[in-house]
Structure 1
Amino acid sequence: MLPTVTSESIALLPLSSRDRQHAALTPTAVMNKTHLQPHGQLIYRFQDRLFWCEHDDVSSLHSRVSYINTLMNHIRQTMPNRDQPLTLISLGAGGLLMESFIHAQLQGNGYQDINWRVIDIEYGPDGTQRCLSHRDSLEAFATIAAEKLAVYGSDQRYFNTFMGGNGATNDRGRGATVLLGIDPPTSSSQALGMACFDPQSMSVKGRPVEDITDANCLYLIACDPEYKEQVHHAMTALARGDRVVTLGSIIKCHVNKFGSCEVLSTQSPRSLTMKEACTPLLEQAKTTQASTSAPEITISDIKRAVERYVAAMADENDLYYAECCVSDYDVSLGRLRDYIIDSPHSSLLATLEMNATHIESYP
């Protein structure tokens, strides 16, 4: 199914008189309710315990306000039934200040049944909070959302609610769905020129996870032994959650929407060799898994297949290999996008990246 794609520069249909009753958000209104607070080299905007990171080149105040107003225009036009349940899934929700302004705008426009699903690695593997700031933000937003809030530490945790026929299964079936991808956690690094578009390299921004059930992707990295420490430094940078790491000899493995393993590589000879060698092992793992009652191949299955390759290579060459199971933002967004597309109701994907709003409407 092809989406209807729009952006801020495309004119929308005229709004009805009912739609015009609630005023659009303005930067002045936001500034009157919030204050700025520096933290190291970054600037955060706070409203009580809710916050966002503000950067003129990445996620400025004006681009955030424009995003909210553009999103509201699309919701009003594609999801006009104010009495129908509306579910918003926010990936990388962070301090939840954007979500609170969106919630207020939805209420002002007459939407009654507003359900929130907020996903962030900072919320921990079971939805608990890793640090004080996010605990406070979640508690504050829970008051705003009343009892219609669910918290997840990864997209994997969200999709695990499929079990038993509840959670995510009901989200898509009960009414309209909106997927929010607001200011990806590593976009500030991209602004500083750390992302790379060289076909010989790959820029990745997965967050290493302690519990493999939170992982949606596996990275396999190869290097000469003398560069081992550089690989370790790259993994440490990824663990911070706000860095893009660019590598040449890497493959990226994840489960696609068909339940099979997809392997991405760079065009470097070493990366292509790893892909060529691992692909049949992963296909074998898929075939083995198909004979069981498991619905699809898992990251654990992928990890075992990749470890077989690494073990075999120990006697073939003297390269150093590093495996890393991660929660990859791009994979999460793609999986959630595929999820909302396959819905009997209207759905939207709304992203804000590098100050640019992008909207996709389904069907």
Structure 2
Amino acid sequence: MLPTVTSESIALLPLYARDRQPAALTPDAVMKQTHLRPHEHLMYRFQDRFFWCEHEDVSSLRSRVSYINTLINHIRQTMPNREQPLTLISLGAGGLLMESFIHRQLQGYGYQDIHWRVIDIEYGPDGTPCCLSHRDSLDAFATLTAEKLAIYASDQRYFNTFTGGNGGVNDRGRGATVLLGIDPPTSSSQASGMACFDPKRMSVKGRPVEDIADANCLYLIACDPEDKAQVHHAMAALTRGDRVVTLSGIIKCHVNKFGRCEVLSTQSPRSQMMKAACVPLLEQAKATQASTSAFEMTLSDIKRTVERYVAAMADENDLYYAVSCVSDYDVSLTRLRDYIIDNSHTSLFATMEMNATHIENHP
């Protein structure tokens, strides 16, 4: 759980004078409007009901301010029409402090029709936040954005709004689109030496979910029976959402933009063994169903196929297998990026990882 949002109210300093365009943000200006609040091993910066998680080596105040300024400059240069609709999609939006600064800056530069799509596993499957802190943040952001806001628990839920036949708006058809991807603050564990550059291991940022409708990826993990507790510990850390874990005997399966199952593995012998066995089984499953109907692989199809493989392997070796459906951050980012760049309108993809900002312009 996050720190409880109290009833205190902080006077917001104006980001810009009313008779001129806003100045670029500075760390000092942000510090004057906010305060820090520790919670467990993380530090949160609050401005009234908005907050973000701050870590000096991963998502510092200075790097966040630099990200905002760089993003605003790119939007002004590549999307100069202030009257055209502008849609911003924020993955891992959390407490929306970053988004609130971006929104006010854009308003200061005259952008008039700003739409937000905020995605975070903490928001719950129906858009209802799981905890009071996020609920308060979303309520405040809805007011700030004049209700031009849609809330999703996962990228899968977001895509379902316009592929599920329920009348959702295709954001690419509205106008310019911006995707924001701030590397999860929980990856502060990477700064403590857990980042993995070993090709035989994989760093994963997935959150196991109960409802497969919120999942975009499947993890298959194999280990010796005596290491079973370590796997359970790693999955528990992912469920809490406060760690990035590194694993050796793992494959990740997800549906790519072509509707095919993509299998990612490490270079460890155990991981390679699972990939070599599962890929033909998944291809066979797709071919079998495609012969009788128009068929696009789903995560449920992948799960059934992988579980059949695990059941068959129970008689072949004495390994322990764990299958988990997850909302994987890296897969989400890839899927959303593929979505926004396949667009006749201008799009931007803006990420921040380990304090470094990267911007892609499309086309």
Task: Please indicate, yes or no, whether the TM-score normalized by the shorter chain is above 0.5.
Answer: yes
**Mapping 1:146-295, distance limit 5 Å:** 146-162=146-162, 163-164=164-165, 166-167=167-168, 170-291=170-291
**Deviation readout 1:248-277 (Å, 9 max, x if unpaired):** 111110111110000011111111111011
Rounded Cα–Cα distance in structure 2 between residues aligned with 1:93 and 1:46: 14
**Structure 1 residue 324 and structure 2 residue 320: aligned?**
no
Q: Under a length normalisation based on structure 1, what TM-score does the superposition of the two structures give?
A: 0.92
Q: 1:116 matched to which residue of 2?
A: 116
Partner Cα distance (2:113, 2:295) in 1: 32
CA contact (8 A) 1:94 1:134 kept: yes
Q: Deviations over 1:119-173 (max 9, x none)?
A: 0000011211111111111111111111200000000000001223743x52111
List alignment gaps of at least 5 residues for structure 1: 1-19
SS at match of 1:316: coil
Task: Give the SS at the match of 1:21.
Answer: coil
**Which residue of the partner structure matches residue 309 of structure 2?**
309
Residues in 2 aligned to 1:185 and 1:114: alpha-carbon distance in whole angstroms: 26
Structure-1 residue corresponding to 2:21: 21
* Aligned mates of 1:325, 1:136 — CA distance in 2: 29
SS in 1 for 2:129: coil
Change in 2 beyond 3 A, CA 1:319/1:338: same
Q: CA deviation at 1:23?
A: 1.4
Give the match for residue 14 of structure 1: none
- Give 1:346-361 correspondences, 5 Å limit: 346-361=346-361
The code of the aligned residue for 1:183 comes to: D
- The SS at the match of 2:306 is helix
The whole-number CA distance in structure 1 between the counterparts of 2:226 and 2:37 is: 42
If asked which structure has higher relative contact order (CA below 8 Å, sep 6+), I would say 1
Paired residues, what number? 343
For 2:72, the equivalent position in structure 1 comes to: 72
Answer whether contact 2:25 2:65 (CA < 8 A) is retained.
yes
- Residue segments in structure 2 that go unaligned for 5+ positions in a row: 1-19
Q: TM-score, normalised by structure 2?
A: 0.92
Amino acid at match of 1:214: D
Does 1:141 find its partner at 2:141? yes
Letter of the structure 2 residue corresponding to residue 238 of structure 1: L
Q: Is the 8 A contact 1:286 1:297 kept in 2?
A: yes
- The 1:321/1:68 distance shift into structure 2, 3 A limit, reads same
Contact 1:289 1:297 in 2 (8 A): no
Residue aligning to 2:30: 30
SS of structure 1 residue aligned to 2:230: helix
Deviation at 1:291, TM superposition (A): 4.3
- Preserved contact between residue 187 and residue 353 of structure 1 (Cα < 8 Å): no
Quote the RMSD (CA, aligned, Å).
1.4
1:99 and 2:99 are equivalent in the alignment: yes
Q: Is the 8 A contact 1:92 1:185 kept in 2?
A: no
What amino acid does structure 1 have at the position aligned with 2:227? Y
Measure the CA separation in 2 of the matches of 1:66 and 1:300: 41
Whole-angstrom CA distance in 2 between matches of 1:348 and 1:110: 19
- Give the CA deviation at 1:96: 0.2
Partner AA of 2:82 in structure 1: R
Match of 1:86 in 2: 86
| Residue aligned with 1:158, SS | helix
Matched-pair contact (CA < 8 Å) for 1:88–1:114: yes
SS in 1 for 2:170: helix
Name the CA distance, whole Å, in 2 between partners of 1:40 and 1:147. 33
